[in-house]
A = this chain, B = another copy of it.
Amino acid sequence: MSRKFYDLEYSDGRCFSPYCWRARFALAHKGLEAESVPVRMTDKETIAFSGSKTVPVLVDGENVVPDSWAIAEYLERAYPDAPSLFGGDTGRATCRFVNSWCDSQLLRALFYVIGPDLLAFFLPDDLEYFVRTREKRLGCTFEEMKTQREEREEALWNTLAPLRLMLSKQPYIGGEAPAYGDIIVGATLQWARCSSPISTIKPDDTPVYDWFQRMLDAYGGIARAMPAHPEAG
């Protein structure tokens, strides 16, 4: 196969990075297969050819595409006859708002809750790098996160309000079927599902919970096929 997908591998062999799941879902949405190449967080050499220091990186024949958003745009352009990720230019632009909301609000709110659980999934070299870069970015140590979990879970509930409200009006961000907006948010919740024993989305949060279950089943159930955190309820 001439299509390769460089994916972030954690210490237990699973690949559950939220950005990489965006690209995986997007490939599945387009009905495309790709040979998976697991890469460790501090292994910058394997992907140096791409000019990027982070995964995901997609190699599709002659094309080298790093960055999850760029991969989605590339797939939409390169495979116009496969199911659309964006539904046109305005849809793509509007979806960028969902991407920005997820990156600036949801990922952060989730990280404050599940951050301490993530530490179990790094080998020593990666762990030191991960702790240093994340504590700086979040302005908070992993120890502090542990003690603040209750209020951080409440903040997460508030952060999810736009999704909850929207899902009371329609089944997917994309409307009647999932589109790239759903992929962005679903990939992020998949990361939490795989890395933490905490149910970040509770069954009593019915609209969000039910939608996430549908996302786990979407695309032939590829997200559900990855085991949840071993101690998840």
Question: For residue A170, which residues in chain B have a CB less than 8 angstroms away from its CB?
Answer: 93, 96
Is A221 engaged at the interface, CB distance under 8 Å to the other chain? no
Known: A96-B169, A96-B170, A170-B96. A162 touches B101 (CB 8 A): yes
Question: For residue A181, which residues in chain B have a CB less than 8 angstroms away from its CB?
Answer: 93-94, 97
A98 and B91 CA atoms in complex are apart in Å by 12
B91 x A87 contact (CB < 8 A): yes
- The stretch of A37-45, A172-180, A190-198 that contacts the partner chain: A172-180
Secondary structure call for the A interface: helix
- Contact partner, A175, options B93, B99, B163, Cβ 8 Å: B93
Q: How large is the interface on A (under 10, 10 to 19, 20 to 34, 35 or more residues)?
A: 35 or more
Q: Mark A62-81, 1 if CB is under 8 A from B, else 0.
A: 00000000000000000000
B98 x A94 contact (CB < 8 A): yes
A174 x B100 contact (CB < 8 A): no
Q: Mark A83-118, 1 if CB is under 8 A from B, else 0.
A: 010111111111111111101110000000000000
A97 x B179 contact (CB < 8 A): no
Chain B nearest CB: distance from A189 CB in Å? Answer: 15
Chain B nearest CB: distance from A87 CB in Å? Answer: 2
A104 and B162 CA atoms in complex are apart in Å by 6
A172 x B93 contact (CB < 8 A): yes
A26 and B97 CA atoms in complex are apart in Å by 20
Question: For residue A99, which residues in chain B have a CB less than 8 angstroms away from its CB?
Answer: 166
Is A140 engaged at the interface, CB distance under 8 Å to the other chain? no
Is A82 engaged at the interface, CB distance under 8 Å to the other chain? no
Chain B nearest CB: distance from A30 CB in Å? Answer: 15
Is A165 engaged at the interface, CB distance under 8 Å to the other chain? yes
In A181-227, the 8 Å CB interface with B consists of: 181
A96 and B97 CA atoms in complex are apart in Å by 11
Known: A87-B87, A98-B97, A181-B97. A92 touches B162 (CB 8 A): no
